[in-house]
Amino acid sequence: MICTKCKTKAVIGLPRHNAAFCKGCFNGFVHDQVVRAIKSEKMFGKEERILVAVSGGKDSLALWDILLKLGYRADALYVDLGIGGYSEQSHAKVTKFAEAAAASHGATLHLHTVEQEAGAGIKELAQLIHRPTCSTCGTIKRYQFNRVAVEQDYDVMATGHNLDDEAARLLGNVLHWQEEYLEKQGPSLPASVEGFAMKVKPLFRLSERELAAYAILNRIDYIVEECPMAKGAKMLQYKDVLNRLETESPGTKQMFYWGFLEKQSKKQPTATTMSEKDRAVLHPCSSCSQPTTAEVCSYCKMMARAKTHSSS
């Protein structure tokens, strides 16, 4: 296979773009896709401070790497979930990247350890509140990333969600006709109310395979093992179905998700009305002041139960 741009030996073929690239041209392609995402969705500028949510996986570390190489001011936050050896390994990968690559750009790594605050790891917390582990994980990560972004005055919070993540989530929402969630499936969510950081997904134009290739080609040492808590997760099933379709019919995932975004932009309300809706139902949590629809937010409820449990 020959590189579409420079005609040297290619290292990866991209059927959905009817192209193949050598390492140098592939890096250029990836950077270009991220720049296009940032500009088209008006995510942030070169002067703004970005907080990247990193997990030790390929997507988040690649995102941090790309933003720094593109000259953005990007720090990162890692949340240690306390999943035994898996968390130890992912923590080590993040620390290694921060010291070896990010520090030279003047970037900082923040750390939050769930066990230090809650006295238990994610698995025990999930059992305590009778919710699936992945759901509990999501609650903790969203809360902590938002908290650090707001408290430390970051302009925007960036996550490593890619095209596969968004297409799989869209498929899940459509299969269950959860129309009320479609409005917030865009790659850029405004800071709709006081206490919410703006959230963006600069990798939404890139597939999971492209990001893994970027990490491997750029020697980013990421955690390859799947989270032990994710076994059997519906997201993985949806991704598998979409990848089988994509292999047979290249471009399926981007047509599905980008097509959805295009339709949304034509008929959906603007960010302003999304903010208006949020303002109508949200108020500060009586315990921590983060926005919630309830008296006390679900994170504070969970921590209260954890503390009661550990003291009994």
Number of helices (H), then strands (E), in the chain: 12, 10
Q: At what angle do helices 252-267 and 163-175 cross, to 10 degrees?
A: 70
Q: Does 263 bind another protein (CB under 8 A)?
A: no
Q: CA 193 to CA 292: how far, in whole Å? A: 10
Q: Looking only at residues 115 through 134 of this chain, which bind another protein when binding is defined by CB under 8 A? A: 132, 134
Least distance in Å: CB of 36 to another protein? 21
Per-residue contact track with another protein, 51 to 90, x per CB under 8 A? ------xxx-------------------------------
Least distance in Å: CB of 231 to another protein? 8
Q: Which range binds another protein by CB under 8 A, 78-86, 104-112, 147-155, 238-246?
A: 238-246
Which residue number, 19 or 105, has a Cβ lying nearer to another protein? 19
Which residue number, 109 or 186, has a Cβ lying nearer to another protein? 186
* Helix H or strand E encompassing 181: none
- In this chain, which of 240, 269, 272, 310 binds another protein, going by CB under 8 A? 240
Which one, of 185, 152, 187, lies nearest residue 76 by Cα? 152
Q: What are phi and psi of 178, to 5 degrees?
A: -90, 70
Q: Does 164 bind another protein (CB under 8 A)?
A: yes
- In this chain, which of 137, 149, 203, 261 binds another protein, going by CB under 8 A? 137
Q: Does 271 bind another protein (CB under 8 A)?
A: no
Q: Does 292 bind another protein (CB under 8 A)?
A: yes
Which residue number, 98 or 158, has a Cβ lying nearer to another protein? 158
- Residues contacting 49, CB < 8 A, separation 6+: 73, 75, 153, 154, 155, 156
Least distance in Å: CB of 106 to another protein? 26
Q: CA 96 to CA 101: how far, in whole Å? A: 8
- In this chain, which of 150, 169, 205, 306 binds another protein, going by CB under 8 A? 169
- Residues contacting 197, CB < 8 A, separation 6+: 51, 145, 146, 149, 150, 154, 156, 157, 191
Q: Looking only at residues 3 through 22 of this chain, which bind another protein when binding is defined by CB under 8 A? A: 10-13, 15, 20
Least distance in Å: CB of 307 to another protein? 19
Helical spans, DSSP H, in 220-270: 234-248, 252-267
Q: Which range binds another protein by CB under 8 A, 75-83, 112-120, 236-244, 254-262?
A: 236-244
Q: Does 305 bind another protein (CB under 8 A)?
A: no
- Which residue in the block uniquely carries the two structure tokens 């903010």? 275
- In this chain, which of 6, 92, 100, 294 binds another protein, going by CB under 8 A? 294
Q: How much is the CA Rg of the chain, to the nearest whole Å?
A: 20
Q: Looking only at residues 29 through 48 of this chain, which bind another protein when binding is defined by CB under 8 A? A: none
Residue 53 and residue 158 in contact, taking contact as beta carbons nearer than 8 Å: yes
Q: What angle do CA 196, 198, 199 make, to 5 degrees?
A: 110
